[in-house]
Homo-oligomer: A and B are copies of this chain.
Amino acid sequence: MNYTLKHLRYFTAAAEAGSVTGASELCHVSQPSVSAAIAHLEDVFGVQLFIRHHAQGLSLTPAGNRLCKAARDLLTHAEELSQDAAGLAEGLSGDLDVGCFVTFAPFVLPGLLRVLASEHPAIHVRPHEDDLRALPEGLRRGRYEIAVTYDLNLPQDIAFEALVTVPIHVLLPARHRLAKRRAVRLADLAEEPLVLLSLPESRNHFLSVFAEAGLEPNIAYETSSFEMVRGLVANGYGYGLMHSRAPHQRALDGTPLASVPLSEPRREMHMGLARLQTTRATRMALAFAETCRRHLPALLDARDAG
């Protein structure tokens, strides 16, 4: 058997009021309740807490005095815990863990965080970059409570809200024969060597684009790095397929490259927000989602315009 926070509250109230009756009024309970709580604490602690003065209240014993200070500390600590919880639940301040698909994280997160910081300065986002297969697992394991991702093979337990339709662009060397076209068709590319971005889910996605058209690509290289694809393409090792587009036309080694839209209509793919179906969102997550809804499309358009 042990003590409860309520016992401590009645005890400290009695110490403050200097009487059981006074404490009972402070705590809005009956006088016997306070009396019993004090007796209970004296029992479990094995220490006399108060000296009873008949008809004129109580005094703390030396031991009671020390325990009263400790009890007050514990109660304020408990109060802080409640405050923390309330802050997490309702407040728009504190840390918010957000997952994001690693490839486009540097394209969208900085802008989103900037907007969020202006709308909700007290929210501090902790970004977690993962590939498309790790993101649902991160949500399930509670590493983050919301994620920005593509709707590629999302499991049933993930709720997805599409925000932006993302087209496929073809990356070509700057001097490639197709680089000046306004659009290219899959059939134009089938014979060319492909530098494939090979990440979980996205790899299959690109291949299925060809399969739906009854074509099979000619895979020359596979890499999991966005910038590696661009470097290989720029240097003439093949063409690349991308959803994310950089605002400039150079690979990291300075070699120029071109980006041309794919002309065929395809099954659309979307960038959007993913959360667990079953969980209740915190207010911070809701605020983040609202910011994404309002600003994510514009952020991507601005990139395209630039």
Contact = CB atoms under 8 A, between A and B. Distances in A.
A80 B67 CA distance: 11
Interface stretch (A101-109, A110-118, A137-145, A213-221): A137-145
A5 interface: yes
A36 interface: no
Contact of A67 (B84, B95, B280): B84
A70 B48 contact: no
Interface residues of A, number: 53
A81 interface: yes
A82 interface: yes
A45 B279 CA distance: 15
A64 B88 CA distance: 9
Nearest to A61: B142
A74 interface: yes
B45 A66 contact: no
B47 A140 contact: no
Nearest to A280: B48
B77 A276 contact: no
A32 interface: no
A95 B81 contact: no
Interface stretch (A52-60, A203-211, A225-233, A247-255): A52-60
A94 B63 CA distance: 10
A265 interface: no
Interface of A: 2-6, 44-48, 50-53, 59-67, 70-71, 73-74, 77-78, 80-82, 84-86, 88-90, 94-97, 140-145, 276, 278-280, 282
